[in-house]
Amino acid sequence: MTTTSPTTLPTVRPYPGSDPVADPAAVVVGERWRVTVLDEGTFRVEWSDDGGFEDRASTFAIRRRLPVPEYRVERTGDGILITTARARLRYDGRPFSPSGLVVETIGPDANRWRWGQEPRDLGGTARTLDDVDGRMPLEPGIIARDGITVLDDSESFLFEDDGWIGTRMPGRRDVTVFAFGRDFEAALRSYHAVSGPPSLVPRWALGNWWSRYHPYSDTSYLALLDRFAEERLPFSVAVIDMDWHRVDSVPERFGNGWTGYSWEPMLFPDPAGFLAELHRRGMRTTLNLHPADGVRAFEDAYPAVAAFMGVDPEGEQPIPFDLTDRRFLQAYFELLHHPLEEQGVDFWWIDWQQGRTTNLPGVDPLWLLNHFHLLDSARDGGAGMTFSRYAGPGSHRYGVGFSGDAVVSWASLAFQPEFTATAANIGYPWWSHDIGGHTRGVRDDELATRWVQFGVFSPIMRLHSANNPFIRKEPWVFPAEARAAMGEALRFRHRMAPYLHTENHRVARGSALVRPLHHLEPRRDEAYRVPNTYLFGTELLVAPIVAPRDPVSLHGVARAWLPPGTWTDVFTGTVYAGDRFVDLHRTLDSVPVLLRGGGVLPLAAPDELDATANPTAFEVLVAPDTSGSFTLVEDREGAEGRTVETRLEWDHDRSEFRVHGAVGALDAIPSHRRWRITFLAAPAEGQRVDARASDRFSVDLAADAATGAVLALAGAPVVGVDAREAIRGVLERAQSGNPEKLEAWEVVSKDSARADRIVELGTVGLTASLRDVIVELLGSVHPGER
């Protein structure tokens, strides 16, 4: 451990890109009020009892010097009327009131909001899901169906010009109004312009994380990883929960072992060697951190910390946790954390649960932990990485969110997709949940499997469970059906790394990986009625199954609304016409994941499961009913800002797929790559294929990264799947009467119109659940239909 006294404090500096003083041309000032026109639909409105105004950065607003939009000002007595292309703000120049502060949107979404009006936003997210078994209220977001929302920033704390903590003057109100109608993308762009963009997370964070509250030793943890390797189960992040440090060995006079910074030598006699071995295996490591109890005398670093804080180490006086003390903050990072990082710790899991108060009024300790940990992790010039709880608007700047200790229940799973997607309404993109649930509940193998499948199609995939030997997440402790489904899901997550990291770069420009459907179709009422159906990047729509399957059909079901266009299931090849509601039924080995018409989904080849490396071989899934493209973005770890882009383009009219030459930092990717282009369709007659299944065919090509390659097909692929074979399989597996199955099969096999067969199925004595599965398949797009 380092024992020398710290000399610098790199954690205290302005957040990168911070520029909190607005252009004077955007500001209109009265005697005790000030309005800043931040954007055509974004107004900062301040009231001050003392006539002074706040120009320091807040937890939410770090950038107010933005391009000044065109606007018109009319003075009305003591107040003003400000008009932009999007909105009008009328303010009487007095303390805020419903009659004195009014904002109206202009255009097709014209609406009016008054100060004090009950919030009607679409929800944002929440600090934690600890002990939440089902739904919970959400904190506000900044988009609403009526098009106007307000973010009250009056109580947040501030940052001084040098990056240190500041507090607000009493008697001042500070609110930001967003008035964009249903142009939700514009509202969120404006929000991120003021609050800063989301974090760009490292590529390795997008693979599978293994986490379990369990007293592993170095040998037992590595043995576990050996078993994962034997099972071909890929992981990229090792989460070591609190038993990495001294817990039961803490002398009783010091209290419990909840807080700790010293390795438990009985479990980890050689921490640096253990962490180096994890790195050799392509894994990054995070350690759990409960800092509330400060630094006590049993810690390895206590003598150095005590001396630095002016405390006699011989007295064993505890050093209290206080991030509002500059000196403690310096010791906290340089004496407690940096030595552990020198051993090989990559980032920290900040598990703060001890309230919102500090020694400074209005200053939240969770905010301080998130903020200073991010700055410290980026001290060498990288993007930084943190893993912590949500602390309010602006938290999107601080890496990955930990949503808390999830209860093991179907109700808990059923809320997580909506909770995750709705976070995009407050610009928060990187939730990590306790996939499979952390605590309580009962063992349910189907629930565990469905939770893993949702986790694969969530922002961060982190398996986790409590310190209970009967709550486990290793796939081999489950029966064969669940075990196989979990394994395939975990492998698919790593195959998606090229797609996920491309979306990661898009998210860092001000978006989210998981978004509600109303972000895509804000003017369609249907998009608001399926909260658990969401967009997963630009190419995919996901409808996770979050309820038990039917005992007769053996299918789970998710109700979705499909936006206009066609949508192809990447696992079954089934093609659906959009602009309608549909119940999507799936057996336990599948989950509804639909690729948009013309969608291009780049995956690593099946054997390339290292989430830390750019692949040498790809499989690209194409939904070929219309033209489309996707630009793959790659980089190299530790080379922030140096990216390379490869455009992947399907031209339907020419039946041609092109891998364009890569542009940018070519040294970040292999110079030669193999591409398998898989069309979710049947081949045209005479088409050469390198692999074929009932719902897809593949053609291989090789390409130099710099020049690319072109695949010309013999003709347009034939879109759609003949549903009869799929229906035959459904009937074979169904736990129902054989005579009724045969009668249903005879109806399905007829050459009559599908609508007539669907009607006739109603006369067959099938259960409604089984009939629904067959009707879904009959209602899908069949070969040759467009």
Distances (CA, A) of 3 to 123, 246, 307, 308, 310: 48, 20, 10, 10, 14
Burial class (CB in 10 A: 0-12, 13-18, 19+), 65: middle
Look at residue 700 in the predicted model and tell me its pLDDT: 98
CA 697, 699, 705, 708 dihedral sign is: negative
- Alpha-carbon distance of 102 to 120, in angstroms, equals 15
Closest CA to 543 of 522, 524, 559: 559
What is the β-pairing status of strands 237-240 and 284-289?
Answer: parallel
Tell me what pLDDT residue 382 has: 85
Give me the residue label for tokens 């979306």.
503
Q: 609 Cβ partners below 8 Å, 6+ apart? A: 232, 234, 491, 494, 495
pLDDT at 8 over 60: no
Q: What is the per-residue DSSP string for 687-705?
A: ---SEEETTEEEEEEEEET
Q: How far apart are CA 23 and CA 36, in angstroms?
A: 9
Averaged over 207-226, what is the pLDDT?
Answer: 98
Over residues 544-568, the mean pLDDT reads: 98
Give, to the nearest 10 degrees, the angle between helix 480-495 and helix 445-456.
Answer: 10
Q: In 388-444, which ranges are continuous DSSP H helix? A: 410-422
C-alpha pair distances (Å), 313 with each of 296, 306, 568: 10, 6, 66
Kindly list the distances between the CA atom of residue 526 and the CA atoms of 68, 251, 353, in Å, as whole numbers in the listed order. Answer: 36, 60, 38
CA distance 159 to 324: 12
Q: At what angle do helices 445-456 and 410-422 cross, to 10 degrees?
A: 10
CB 582 within 8 A of CB 631: no
Range name among 322-326, 380-384, 388-392, 426-430 with the lowest pLDDT average: 380-384
Measured between alpha carbons, how far is 9 from 353 in angstroms, rounded to an integer?
26
Q: Which DSSP helix (H) or strand (E) runs through 166? A: strand 165-166
pLDDT tens profile 259-283: 999 999 999 999 999 999 999 999 9
- Say whether pLDDT at 633 is over 50: yes
> 153: alpha, beta or left, given left = phi > 0 and alpha = psi -120 to 50?
alpha
Q: State the Cα–Cα distance between residues 765 and 786, nearest whole angstrom.
A: 33
Would the pLDDT of 7 be above 70? no
**What pLDDT is recorded for position 721?**
85
**Cα gap 552→307, rounded to integer Å:** 70
Q: Which amino acid is at 626?
A: T
pLDDT given for residue 2 in this prediction: 43
Mean pLDDT across the chain: 96
Give how far Cα 766 sits from Cα of 553, 740, 753, Å: 10, 6, 20
Q: Which phi-psi region, left, alpha or beta, contains residue 362 (left: φ > 0; alpha: ψ -120 to 50)? A: left
The mean per-residue pLDDT over the stretch 141-151 comes to 97
Q: Are 465 and 212 in contact (CB under 8 A)?
A: yes
Distance CA 165, CA 291 (A): 19
- The band of 722, judged by pLDDT with boundaries at 50, 70 and 90, is confident
Give alpha helix (H) positions in 399-469.
Answer: 410-422, 445-456
Q: How confident is the model at residue 641 (pLDDT cuts 50, 70, 90)?
A: confident
For 233-256, how does the pLDDT look when each residue is reduced to its tens digit (9 = 90+)? 999 999 999 999 999 999 999 999
Question: Rounded to 5 degrees, what angle do the CA atoms 176, 178, 183 make?
Answer: 160
**Count of other CB atoms within 10 angstroms of residue 480:** 7
Q: What is the DSSP string of 53-78?
A: ---SEESS--B---PPPP-EEEEETT
Both tokens of 612, joined, read 């830390």
Q: Pairing state of beta strands 691-693 and 672-679?
A: unpaired
In this prediction, residue 10 has a pLDDT band, given cuts at 50, 70 and 90, of low
For residues 422 and 531, give the distance between their C-alpha atoms in angstroms, rounded to a whole number. 8
The residue type at 623:
A
Sorted by sequence, the CB contacts under 8 Å of residue 749 that are 6+ apart come out as 724
With vertex at residue 480, the alpha carbon angle to CA 475 and CA 481, rounded to the nearest 5 degrees, is: 95
Structure tokens at 184: 């939700």
Which pLDDT value is given to residue 1?
43
Alpha carbon 468 to its chain centroid, in Å, reads 28
Measured in degrees and rounded to the nearest 5, phi and psi for residue 479 equal -65, 170
Section 472-486 average pLDDT? 97
How many residues does this entry show for the chain? 786
| Closest to 538 (Cα-Cα) out of 466, 600, 617, 610 | 600
Cβ-proximal residues to 223 (8 Å cutoff; 6+ apart), any chain? none
pLDDT tens, position by position, 436-466? 999 999 999 999 999 999 999 999 999 999 9
The pLDDT of residue 6 is 57
Calculate helix-pair angle for 754-761, 768-778, nearest 10 degrees: 180
pLDDT at 745 over 90: yes
Distance CA 14, CA 401 (A): 22
Mean pLDDT of 321-343: 97
In eight-state DSSP terms, residue 298 is T
pLDDT given for residue 9 in this prediction: 57
Chain center to CA of 752: 46
pTM above 0.85, yes or no: yes
Burial of 205 (0-12, 13-18, 19+ CB in 10 A): buried
- pLDDT tens profile 665-689: 999 999 999 999 999 999 999 999 9
549/50 Cα distance (integer angstroms): 63
pLDDT in tens, 571-587: 999 999 999 999 999 99
104 vs 113: CA distance, rounded Å: 6
Q: In the structure, what pLDDT confidence band is assigned to residue 638 with cuts at 50, 70 and 90?
A: low
Determine how β-strand 284-289 pairs with β-strand 172-179: unpaired
Report the C-alpha gap between 475 and 62 in whole angstroms.
45
pLDDT of residue 381: 85
> Half-sphere exposure (CA, 13 Å, Cβ side) for 697?
19
Contacts of range 262-265, beta carbons closer than 8 Å, 24 or more positions apart: 262/298, 262/299, 262/300, 262/301, 263/300
Pair 207, 236: CB distance under 8 Å:
yes
Q: How far is CA 592 from CA 404, 514, 555, in A?
A: 27, 15, 12
Q: Which pairing describes strands 617-622 and 672-679: parallel, antiparallel, or unpaired?
A: parallel
Among 489, 426, 481, 484, which Cα is nearest to 453's? 489
Q: What is the C-alpha separation between 512 and 505, in angstroms, rounded?
A: 10
- Planar angle of CA 638, 643, 646, nearest 5 degrees: 140
- The pLDDT score that the predictor gives to residue 5 is 56
Q: Evaluate if residue 11 carries a pLDDT over 90.
A: no
Which tokens in the block code for residue 66? 């933005």
CA-wise closest residue to 327 among 9, 720, 738: 9
Tokens of 515: 């978004």
Look at 314-323, 636-645, 699-708 and tell me which has the smallest mean pLDDT: 636-645
How many angstroms separate the CA atoms of 47 and 94, rounded? 8
